[in-house]
Amino acid sequence: MWSNFFVQQDEEGRIGVAGAGQGGGLGGMKGGRGQRRAHKMSDSQEGKIKLAFFVSIIGVTLTVLGMGTEFWVELAQPKNFSSNQTCQMAHYGLWKGCIRTLWVADIDPERTSCGPAELPGESNCTYFKFFTSGENAVIFKKTTNKNLNLAAAILALLSLTMMVMGSICIAMSLSKGVQFFLKPASFCFILSGVLVLLSILIFHQSVLALLSSDHSVPLHHELSWSVACVGAAGATLIFGGVLFVILSLPFNPWQKCLPHKNSAT
């Protein structure tokens, strides 16, 4: 009889300990969930992230617009170089170049060179072959430097890759409701902006190399609106990345820089 009594007491004690353990485990799980919820961003923080992401999307749009057009640089012959009623000019970008034949009568009388490219005329556009067969392009007896052109194009493509990665990080941050992905997103957008600006610098060096390859045909050159789009895109992307850095900080930088006086003191 006593042995049965002790066995029952032992089983009840185990059940009590198990129940306490389960209750503690449930309490720990609830506490962990509460901590996780506490780390989630607020609605105001989410709105700020969306606003910074909108700024970055503007930079991405400008980059795609600039990279997809062939108005990075305009090369214009003197207006009366061929001594007839027409003159020729060229404009090209990262992937394609165009030769345009314009009427001299349509050009501004005060302008000494042929152009601008917006005037009506015949156009002949071709894609560069140094992406496929490795051949240089010849524009008005001047030869392009394919190494510099390829470097500018590769940097532009790398910048687009970083923009995509940054956009994925922001999308994950907004969907999960956490700020962990803001720092890698800021790195991606800042690096993409730097790569875009480097692409412009290398492209300008390729234009100078093209002009110095032959001096038999005088040419007037100027960077066109596509470069302006890409330059503005680079600055916008860097600014958007800095905004994400500020939003990822655990404290408010404005309160640190401009501490306000407490009315209670």
Q: Element (H or E) spanning 125, and its range?
A: strand 121-127
pTM given for the model:
0.77
SS3 213: coil
Domain residues of the chain, as ranges?
A: 43-247
What is the C-alpha separation between 72 and 93, in angstroms, rounded? 5
- Which CATH topology does 43-247 take? Butyryl-CoA Dehydrogenase, subunit A; domain 3 (1.20.140)
* pLDDT > 70 fraction of the chain, expressed in percent and rounded: 78
pLDDT digits (tens, 9 = 90+) for 14-55: 444 444 444 444 444 444 444 444 356 677 888 888 999 999
pLDDT digits (tens, 9 = 90+) for 153-212: 999 999 999 999 999 999 998 888 878 888 999 999 999 999 999 999 999 999 999 999
CB 227 within 8 A of CB 66: yes
In this prediction, residue 164 carries a pLDDT of 95
From the CB of residue 186, how many other CB atoms can be counted at a distance below 10 Å?
25
CB 145 within 8 A of CB 210: yes
Phi, psi of 177 (to 5 degrees): 75, 25
